[in-house]
A and B are shown apart, each in its own frame.
Chain A
Amino acid sequence: MMFLIATIALFVGMCLVLARLYAGPSLYDRVLAANAFGTFTVMFIGVLGFLMERPEFLDIALLYALINFVGTIAVLKYFRYRAIGDTSPTPEGEPTSVGKLNDRGVRS
């Protein structure tokens, strides 16, 4: 019963995060919403494991937490440098001044 209520609460939270993801005016809202949804995935898998009486799902939930973390780092790196692979400084200046985005997603 307790896990059922937790599942319902998680679904409500997911719906709120998805609403922010669809509506979110700025890109940062969307990054944060995607990251929060990943966290909800982790929690949902954990709760589902106890709900289905298979608590070993908890290990898998930990792996999802790792993926979520690395994915968010990659997205934020794209924000900062506007490239994923090579971020060494360009000859004419620092890469930080080249690729900065303002919150509308346009390079300043």
Chain B
Amino acid sequence: MDVLINLVLFAMMVATALAILRMRRLFAVVMLAGVFSLLSALLFVTLDAVDVAFTEAAVGAGISTVLMLGTMALTSREEKMPRKFSPLPLLVVCITGAVLIYGTLDMPSFGSAQSPAQTHVAAQYLERTPKDTGVPNVVTAILASYRGYDTFGETVVVFTAAVGVLILIGGFARRRDPEEGDAD
């Protein structure tokens, strides 16, 4: 049944991606990209990676949508039609996809007990975490306890980036205000 749910979600993702390709109005594209991100978050949830799913939803459906809308406010709302067909981007996309698929061939099969993720230090962490930290969720314990300073540094980096983006967007909006009437 898991497989069936995954198949339905993947079908919806493919349909959304095709709709994004065909759309010329960028506002609709932003909406569809948000829905695409929600769908991939659902996929992560069915794969039992709830924390990854939440990051995907917060970044993909939340912050990215807002940032893309902010960009649209500063630039154009329509996608320009390309004048002629250029094969280079298609070639780059196809080669990248082929390389990525080639890269998955070496990976252990899904859920395999012999994969390095299962046989390395993970078992020790699963055993030691409740004793060492007393936190019930192992992922949370590793992020916030074993790698506490690392996580703190990451938080500082993300916070700095957010402040920088806010300063940039706010500054541009104020500078553009005088000619707001005839922009676009």
Of B19, B45, B72, most buried by chain A (CB within 10 Å of CB) is B45
Encode B6-46 as 1/0 by CB contact (under 8 A) with A: 00100010011001000001011001101100100110011
Among B12, B15, B169, which residue has its beta carbon within 8 angstroms of that of A85?
Answer: B169
Encode A30-64 as 1/0 by CB contact (under 8 A) with B: 11011001100100110010000000010010011
Interface assignment of A70: CB less than 8 Å from any CB of chain B: yes
Residues on A with C-beta less than 8 A from B125 are: none
Interface assignment of B5: CB less than 8 Å from any CB of chain A: yes
The DSSP consensus for interface residues of chain B is helix
B180 and A15 form a contact (CB under 8 A): no
Q: How large is the interface on B (under 10, 10 to 19, 20 to 34, 35 or more residues)?
A: 35 or more
Residues on B with C-beta less than 8 A from A85 are: 70, 166, 169-170, 173
Q: Who on chain A is nearest to B16 by CB?
A: A18
B184 and A15 form a contact (CB under 8 A): no
Residues on B with C-beta less than 8 A from A14 are: 12
B173 and A83 form a contact (CB under 8 A): yes
Residues on B with C-beta less than 8 A from A44 are: 42
Q: How large is the interface on A (under 10, 10 to 19, 20 to 34, 35 or more residues)?
A: 35 or more
In the bound complex, CA of A60 to CA of B72 (Å): 31
Give the tally of cross-chain contacts (CB within 8 A). 102
Query: When A60-B54, A78-B73 are in contact, do A84 and B66 touch as well, CB less than 8 Å?
Result: yes
Q: Can you list the 4 inter-chain pairs with the closest CB atoms, starting with the nearest?
A: A84-B70, A85-B169, A86-B173, A34-B31
A57 and B38 form a contact (CB under 8 A): no
By a beta-carbon cutoff of 8 Å, the part of chain A in contact with chain B is 4, 7, 11, 14-15, 18, 21-22, 24, 27, 30-31, 33-34, 37-38, 41, 44-45, 48, 57, 60, 63-64, 67-68, 70-71, 74-75, 78, 82-86, 90-92, 98, 105, 107
A67 and B173 form a contact (CB under 8 A): no
Residues on B with C-beta less than 8 A from A107 are: 184
